[in-house]
Chain A
Amino acid sequence: MNLTATPVRRLLKTPLAAPSPFPHHRGSLLSVEDLSLEDVSLILRRATALENEDPLVRTRILAKRRVALLFYESSTRTRTSFELAAKGLGADTALVSSLSSSIEKGESLKDTGLTLRALGAETIILRHNSSGAPWLLEDATRLPILNAGDGMHQHPTQALLDLRAMLNHLRPGVETVTAETLAGVTVSITGDILHSRVARSNLQLLPKLGARVVLCGPKELLPELAATAGPGVTVERNFEVALRQSQVVMMLRIQAERLAGMQLDLEEYKAGYQLTSKRLATHAPEALVLHPGPIIRGLELTAEVADGPQSLILEQVRHGVAIRMAVVERALTAAQQEGGRA
């Protein structure tokens, strides 16, 4: 036995991870990682076209098609806008939430999905507290699955609507995006990055269009390795330094429900990272302020900022309906092109 030598063996041939079989269905929207710039452009164009469409004509697009909303977590914006989007296209919607269904009796996600499929659901919009749940559901049902937020992982429609809100102000009229569309734009995302699916989706989507993403927050909420999460992503601990670089300032909520015993001094947090009128006026007077909601006034940002002229918070909500019409349409028309699936 040779116990003295501890060389690191390099160039070892080792087994590679298998390529991903996901998404099984091309109408699915599981992660922004799956979207090409062409896909994003198509969604943006359809969002505008559907938004401008005569509401009576629009309701014929998916008339009587069946859309299930399966929600394991509470939601205001996402659930309502998906529902309005599906109904706006004429689809029938059914809402299943974990607190008023057999999920409470212990039915698994797989069985719940198969049941919805047997009831005629042609697509399932899933919000789930476990990261990865939409992949499990797609694998089990092979239906087009729309990820409406999974745990701390992804929230692709939020990233798309955030993008639409940004483009609307920074690149008005642009709907066909390229790798340079947001060149020169820095988007800072500040707050509870660790627990945020919005941050993960945005930090993957925005650099695809050439934007720089600066992540900002204390170590407890933003691990250093986040800087290696993708190209165009950096970490900045000083909020004011981050603000000074930003054309877009995205603020995130502290997710008390996901802190899992973590101790966080909120006063200290506010001192370092709260977006106040003064900070905004001093360091980013021209920047757009975004927040995916729900906002906690007086914590991550002040009421003056939330209601102020730089805030796009309610505009984001409005973009949500348009984006979700486009992805619901995409889910059901992709299925049609494939001649339907069992």
Chain B
Amino acid sequence: MTALVIRGGYLIDAAAGVDGLRDVLLKDGRVAEIAAPGKLKLANGTEALDATGLTLAPGLIDMHVHLREPGQGYKETIASGTVAAAAGGFTSVAAMPNTTPVNDSPETTRWMLQPERGAAIRVFPIAAATRGSKGEAINDYAALKAAGAVAVSDDGRPILKDGVMRETLAAAARVGLSVIQHAEDTRMTQGGSMNAGLAAFKLGLRGMPAEAESSIVERDIRLVTELRDTRAHLHVAHISTAAALAAVRQARRSGLRVTCEVAPHHFLLTDEHVGLYDTNAKMCPPLRTAADRDAMIEGILDGVVDAIATDHAPHAIHEKEVEFENAPNGIIGLETALGLSLRWLHGEWKLPLGRVLSLLSAQPAALLGLKGRGTLAVGSFGDVVIFDPKAEWTYRAAESRSKSRNTPFDGWTMQGKIRWTISEGRIVYSA
């Protein structure tokens, strides 16, 4: 029996309705007891963490990361990516299937979950929706779910064919999985390397129009409407445009199971941040206009956005040190999500701390159906993040635990210094 007590901290657990000073006892990887400070009866020698002056919350959950294994270990491994995640306060990450090979089989899904991968925290594979993520033939979702997949997605690629997307939504609904769509009509984004608009015109770069995203979201919502009786769940990955968010808002008003996530870079940065061809500001979907960015903030504040997800996408330095058009899409984000969210969503835009944490934990847990996570109610998994919510610090990309360094947030001021991250009762990060 291993036990760990966290004493003197301020517990914020929105899912359990707790907001106050509590001591928390973890035993055998689970939350064993929660009590007012000093009220726990402990066995002699119980390991203790002094969290006086600190905040503790359910471990963060990132429902959208790229861990690059199998096949691209020079960018990231499951081991390195999960260490970076732990440093960012995450205790669970959902790994996208655009690996080499694509994770479209129970074998690959199980391989990712093997202890040999050396994961520091929990990894939940998201399996490919279609064979090879080619958007043609759908996979066996029951088998993938049995192997451990928590959702299906062809992330990085959209499912363009209406018939295939409809079948995907229906088949996933039958086994109780969500469909996560990377909404991009690639017929409209050919050759594009940033948002279509004035900044792209000035830089002489081909643009990716906002309609490429919103048209797919609108199409998918039509399909969900048609499949209303099946309880199909569409989750829009890394939503970035005001138009697409408006479509999600409308769908929710109609009572459809349509949800979405926003990445920190899309609620903070605009296409102006591309500057003079900064490849660390190149991702897909691209940084959009100020109006789009403001719409993301609005959506987070008014609740139409269900989760904050990083789209952590590591790339080796040499892959990003190339002509802007030739650089791969994506930035890392696991170590900066909490710091940016606290600094801006909470600090600047006054979103209550509990809401920020919920977007980073309880809500993604619910979207992925992760039982016993996203809350510290007694009996839940002992996934905890303990941080000083007031402390400011400066992010240094060179010190990242990720194998990669591709971030536009190097040198940025962050708020909320993480002291410990605990995954199922084990301390996986301390500072």
Chain A residues near B (Cβ < 8 Å): 1-9, 12-15, 17-18, 20, 22, 108-110, 128, 130-133, 135-136, 140, 150-154, 194, 197, 200, 223, 225-226, 228-229, 260-261
Q: Is the CB of B294 within 8 A of A15?
A: no
Instruction: List chain B positions with a Cβ less than 8 A from chain A.
Output: 190-191, 197-198, 201-206, 246, 249, 252-253, 268-270, 272-273, 275-277, 290-291, 293-295, 297-298, 301-304, 318, 321-326, 344, 348-349, 412
> Within 8 Å CB of B322, what residues of A?
108-110, 136
In the complex with contacts A20-B276, A226-B201, A260-B294 CB distance below 8 A:
no
A306 to B324, CA, bound (A): 37
A133 touching B323, Cβ below 8 Å: yes
A322 to B150, CA, bound (A): 66
B349 touches A200 (CB 8 A): no
Contact A200-B269, Cβ < 8 Å, known A9-B297, A130-B325: no
Query: What 8 pairs across the A-B complex have the smallest Cβ distances?
Result: A153-B204, A132-B277, A152-B204, A1-B303, A130-B323, A131-B204, A17-B272, A132-B324
Q: In the bound complex, do residue A18 and residue B275 qualify as a contact, i.e. CB atoms below 8 Å apart?
A: yes
In the bound complex, CA of A5 to CA of B206 (Å): 35
Q: A1-B304, A6-B249, A260-B191 are in contact. Are A153 and B323 (CB under 8 A)?
A: no
Question: Which of A3, A14, A128, A226 has the largest count of B CB atoms less than 10 A from its CB?
Answer: A14
Contacts of A3 on B, CB cut-off 8 Å?
Answer: 249, 252-253, 302-304
Q: Would you mind naming 24 contact pairs between A and B with Cβ atoms under 8 Å apart?
A: A6-B298, A6-B302, A8-B294, A8-B295, A9-B297, A9-B298, A20-B275, A20-B276, A108-B321, A108-B322, A110-B322, A128-B323, A131-B205, A132-B276, A132-B277, A132-B324, A136-B321, A151-B204, A151-B205, A152-B204, A154-B204, A226-B201, A228-B198, A260-B206
Q: Is the CB of A225 within 8 A of B201?
A: yes
Q: How far is the CB of B279 from chain A (nearest CB, A)?
A: 9
Which residue of chain A has the shortest Cβ distance to B322 in the bound complex? A108
Q: Is the interface of A mostly helix, strand, loop or mixed?
A: loop
**Contacting pair A135 B204 (CB below 8 A):** no
The CA-CA distance from A140 to B277 in the complex, in Å, is 13
B323 near A136 with CB under 8 A, answer yes
Interchain CA distance A229-B198 in the complex, whole Å: 7
A-B contact count (CB 8 A): 110
Q: How distant is the Cα of A225 from the Cα of B201 in the complex, in angstroms? A: 8
- Give A7 to B293 CA distance when docked, in angstroms: 14
Q: In the assembly, what is the distance between CA of A151 and CA of B205, in Å? A: 8
Knowing A3-B253, A135-B277, A260-B190, say if A225 contacts B197 (CB, 8 Å). yes
Are A131 and B325 neighbours in the complex by a CB distance under 8 Å? yes
Residues of chain A contacted by B412 (CB below 8 angstroms): 15
Chain A, Cβ-Cβ closest to B411: A18
Check if A225 sits within 8 Å of B190, measured CB to CB.
no
Complex Cα gap A148–B228 (Å): 58
| A-chain residues with CB within 8 Å of residue B246 when the two chains form the complex | 6
A74 to B5, CA, bound (A): 70
Checking B275, B301, B302 against A17 with a beta-carbon cut-off of 8 angstroms, the contacting residue is: B275
> Which B residues are in CB contact (< 8 Å) with A153?
203-205
Task: Given A3-B304, A15-B268, A260-B190, check contact A131 B249 (CB 8 Å).
Answer: no
Q: Which residues of A contact B197 (CB under 8 A)?
A: 225
Per the bound structure, the CA–CA distance linking A225 and B196 in Å amounts to 10
CB neighbours of A110 from chain B (8 A): 321-322
Chain A residue nearest to B301 in the complex (CB) = A9
Contact of B203 among A17, A131, A140 (CB under 8 A): A131
Beyond A14-B293, A20-B275, 16 additional contacts (C-beta under 8 Å) are A3-B304, A7-B298, A14-B270, A14-B290, A15-B268, A17-B272, A20-B276, A22-B276, A131-B325, A132-B205, A135-B277, A136-B321, A136-B322, A153-B205, A154-B204, A228-B198
CA of A130 to CA of B321 in the docked complex: distance in angstroms? 13
Least distance between B324 CB and chain A CB atoms (Å): 5
A226 CA to B196 CA in the complex, in Å? 12
Q: Which residues of B contact A13 (CB under 8 A)?
A: 348
Give CA–CA (A150, B294) in the complex, Å.
Answer: 33
Given contacts A3-B302, A6-B298, A132-B277, A14 and B268 within 8 Å (CB-CB): yes
- Smallest Cβ-Cβ distance to B281: which chain A residue: A17
Whole-angstrom distance between the alpha carbons of A92 and B204 in the complex? 32
Contact call A12/B275, Cβ cutoff below 8 A: no
- In the bound assembly, the distance between CA atoms of A18 and B252 in angstroms comes to 37
The distance in angstroms between the C-alpha atoms of A179 and B412, with both chains bound, is 38
Please tell me if the beta carbons of A12 and B321 are within 8 angstroms of each other in the complex: no
- Contacting pair B277 A136 (CB below 8 A): yes
Q: Specify which chain A residues have a CB less than 8 angstroms from the CB of B318 in the assembled complex.
A: 108
The CA-CA distance from A14 to B198 in the complex, in Å, is 19
8 Å CB contact of B201 from A1, A133, A136, A229: A229
Complex: how many Å from CA A108 to CA B324? 13
Q: How distant is the Cα of A150 from the Cα of B276 in the complex, in angstroms?
A: 13
Contacts A17-B272, A135-B276, A136-B321; A229 near B302 (Cβ below 8 A): no
Write out the residue numbers on chain A whose beta carbons fall within 8 Å of the beta carbon of B297. Answer: 9, 12
Check A2/B303 contact, CB under 8 A, given A9-B297, A12-B349, A229-B198.
yes
Asked whether A131 and B298 contact (CB < 8 A) given A136-B277, A261-B190, the answer is no
Contacts of A260 in B (CB 8 A): 190-191, 206
The complex places the Cα of A12 from the Cα of B412 at a distance, in Å, of: 19
